[in-house]
Structure 1
């Protein structure tokens, strides 16, 4: 069955490319003596805005949208604090992180029960169920670790997010009908994906001060393809058998 997980990576790459061009122009103007980059570096919270924007452009899940919006919001608040418009500190940030994490858990629980317009998780529903046999994965690890085993014989892809944490997905007992796509997003974190030796792995990820690494065997044919897309920002993504 053809993978039904859509991808918005082109938009994210355009946004990221424009941001990289803007940074290059700033460094060029600094070399020409037109701007002072030492003052510009004081606006480091823009990193959260950039990462959050990339995540928003690259996600198809509600959890990914909440995470991207949260990163953008934190970056804006820190920027306003640097500009002395508001008084915002790391001490204020931690309660907001807890509130956001709690809201995400509540929304995910309600969605899995079909109370937010979603489909209840179960056999054929596409989400991971209690036995780990979901056809579509939606995994998020923030400031922690997540390990999961998938044994479905009709894996269709999904989304994995690791922010200052780690995710490990073991699919060595699973199978694919044709092609599946996994969108990964590792920010100060790591993602490890274990797949069967008869899967052809296609890496289309973009590393930014991070890395994508493939350690898989050469499959006998290309009938089963696993496409890995996404970003590793100061983090790493590893695919192995």
Structure 2
């Protein structure tokens, strides 16, 4: 059902672009800014949002960037740097603060557990390559919610009943280590990487399925092929949007 829905939205997106180009070619007077890259960025953002039921922040960020540059071109004497950019940053910040917290049906169920068992800091060997802005945390929570804007985080999941979660990396990055985690069946990790990225380390034998929408970016599976040792099928589904960024999957 999800793949069929994605095909429908992709078809509508292509039809809309083709229709606009056709109207322009037959001589209909249309504004020049309508065919600029930032206008297509708005269309891509709305397409990605509709495809994922507007549940993550990636579509909002892409659409917001497109709107800022579109208004700067459509409205004469409007300085995007002085006016629209600060407004856009305020809007992005408010969205991250007040965005719906029930993107997944099981999140509310496990929120109480997360409050009773909060993140605890950990120390590790001297790491000269780690940015001073990075935060290192060990987590016993069953649900992941990692937001990295102009910074980074290194997280280890110890939960034996891991439920998946969300990673947001905007001009930042997230290193997620799942080698100590466990779960039954399948989980979903929703990744939004815009001018940023994520590295996910998983144990040998886990299956990974990518449903990521990549625009000038991608998901790179760098795992070595290793057989399943415990006979249990475990599936990690990676969804989301990657724009000018990347996601690396590793098992070391």
Q: Normalised by the size of structure 1, how large is the TM-score?
A: 0.71
Picking from 221, 227, 232, the partner of 1:219 is 227
SS in 2 for 1:52: helix
Alpha carbons of 1:184 and 1:212: their partners in 2 closer, same or farther (altered >3 Å)?
A: same
Picking from 6, 12, 15, the partner of 2:9 is 15
Aligned partner of 1:84 in structure 2 is 75
Establish whether residue 239 from structure 1 lines up as the match of residue 249 from structure 2: yes
Note the C-alpha offset of 1:36. Answer: 10
SS in 2 for 1:205: strand
> 1: CA distance between counterparts of 2:221 and 2:235?
14
Which range is displaced more, 74-83 or 227-236? Answer: 74-83
Establish whether residue 99 from structure 1 lines up as the match of residue 109 from structure 2: no
Alpha carbons of 1:70 and 1:205: their partners in 2 closer, same or farther (altered >3 Å)?
A: closer
Establish whether residue 162 from structure 1 lines up as the match of residue 169 from structure 2: yes
Alpha carbons of 1:105 and 1:77: their partners in 2 closer, same or farther (altered >3 Å)?
A: closer
Aligned partner of 2:214 in structure 1 is 207
Note the C-alpha offset of 1:233. Answer: 2.7
RMSD: 4.0
Q: Work out whether residues 167 and 191 of structure 1, in 8 Å CA contact, stay in contact via their aligned partners in 2.
A: yes
Q: Work out whether residues 110 and 142 of structure 2, in 8 Å CA contact, stay in contact via their aligned partners in 1.
A: no
1:171-186 matches, within 5 Å, as 171-186=178-193
Unaligned runs of 5+ in 1: 1-6, 112-117
1:162-205: per-residue Cα shift (whole Å, max 9, x none)?
23332221111111111111122223322211111131222232
Note the C-alpha offset of 1:210. Answer: 1.9
Alpha carbons of 1:99 and 1:37: their partners in 2 closer, same or farther (altered >3 Å)?
A: closer
SS in 1 for 2:239: strand
Picking from 44, 52, 55, the partner of 2:45 is 52
1:74-122: per-residue Cα shift (whole Å, max 9, x none)?
53343233222782412224422442454356548xx7xxxxxx67845
Q: Aligned pair count?
A: 225
Alpha carbons of 1:17 and 1:219: their partners in 2 closer, same or farther (altered >3 Å)?
A: farther
Q: Work out whether residues 166 and 190 of structure 1, in 8 Å CA contact, stay in contact via their aligned partners in 2.
A: yes
Q: Work out whether residues 214 and 241 of structure 2, in 8 Å CA contact, stay in contact via their aligned partners in 1.
A: yes
Alpha carbons of 1:101 and 1:21: their partners in 2 closer, same or farther (altered >3 Å)?
A: closer
> 1: CA distance between counterparts of 2:13 and 2:117?
34
1:42-67: per-residue Cα shift (whole Å, max 9, x none)?
63222442343245332675xx35x6
> Rg: which structure is higher?
2
